[in-house]
């Protein structure tokens, strides 16, 4: 592996199964950014990456002399460094709202999903968490119905965070019924999953979760 601080082109160290990594890959694809994607096991991170990722997490982005960690930081950095097409609104209040939505998704959806994937849970606890996550998603039907994307007319960084979770629902045994009540969320999933950048962001392992 070339030393992190000696790279001359952008590289993303990304676990091919991790939803936090996929959200950054989606941003790269949405913006058409050329970057080397280096598959890295999030449970076996080498010492060199740990030097720039103090919490032992992926993804890690190296852009010449810049080394960054934390998926949200990476997404915002890429959006500012490559402003077209924008994935954050122009106006400060709208930008702040997008950041709040991302925070809420992290606290509500991601916290539950991560436990289902990463922890060895007792059957009762697993069943409880699945029910909670499904309820949160179903409760968002009015939001998905209101605008083309999550609380926004255009695809944004919030969608980059939500889509990888929704794609992985079969992985944790959650199914959203295909009925009238859930038409908005199912329609949203179809719309996002068929976007070319989303499809290109998928690794081979991720493609095995669902049929395109």
Going by the DSSP 8-state scheme, the letter that residue 110 receives in this structure is I
User: Could you tell me the residue ranges of all domains in the chain?
Assistant: 4-81, 92-195
Q: What is the pLDDT of residues 142-190, one digit of tens each?
A: 999 999 999 999 999 999 999 999 999 999 999 999 999 999 999 999 9
Do the domains 4-81 and 92-195 sit in the same CATH topology, yes or no?
no
Q: Which residues of the chain have pLDDT under 50?
A: 1-2
Sheet holding 36-39, edge to edge: 36-39, 11-14, 60-63, 66-69
What are the distances in angstroms from CA 111 to CA 34, 36, 119, 129?
Answer: 31, 29, 11, 10
Q: Establish whether the linkage from the previous residue to 59 is cis, with ω within 30° of 0.
A: yes
Ramachandran quadrant class, 185 (left: phi over 0; alpha: psi -120 to 50; beta: rest): alpha
| The domain over range 92-195 is classified in CATH as 1.20.1050.10 | yes
pLDDT for 5 equals: 58
pLDDT for 2 equals: 44
pLDDT for 7 equals: 64
Type and span of the H or E element at 126: helix 123-139
| The domain over range 4-81 is classified in CATH as 3.30.565.10 | no
CA-CA-CA-CA torsion sign (210, 207, 114, 172): positive
pLDDT for 176 equals: 96
pLDDT for 4 equals: 60
Contacts of residue 84, defined as CB under 8 A and 6 or more positions apart, other chains included, come to 31
């Amino acid at each position: 592996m070339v030393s992190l601080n000696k790279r001359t082109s952008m590289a993303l160290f990304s676990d091919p199964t991790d939803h936090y990594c996929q959200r950054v890959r989606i941003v790269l694809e949405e913006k058409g950014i050329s970057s080397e994607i280096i598959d890295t096991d999030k449970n076996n991170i080498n010492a060199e990456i740990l030097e720039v990722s103090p919490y032992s997490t992926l993804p890690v982005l190296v852009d010449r002399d810049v080394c960054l960690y934390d998926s949200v930081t990476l997404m915002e950095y890429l959006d500012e460094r490559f402003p077209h097409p924008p994935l954050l609104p122009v106006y400060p209040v709208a930008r702040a709202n997008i950041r709040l939505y991302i925070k809420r998704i992290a606290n509500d959806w991601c916290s539950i999903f991560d436990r289902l994937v990463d922890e060895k849970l007792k059957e009762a606890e697993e069943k409880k968490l699945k029910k909670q996550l499904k309820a949160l998603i179903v409760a968002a039907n009015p939001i998905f119905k209101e605008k083309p994307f999550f609380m926004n007319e255009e695809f944004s960084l919030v969608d980059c965070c939500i889509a990888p979770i929704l794609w992985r629902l079969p992985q944790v045994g959650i199914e959203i019924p295909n009925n009238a009540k859930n038409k908005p969320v199912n329609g949203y999933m179809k719309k996002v999953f068929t976007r070319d950048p989303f499809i290109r962001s998928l690794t081979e392992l991720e493609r095995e979760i669902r049929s395109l």
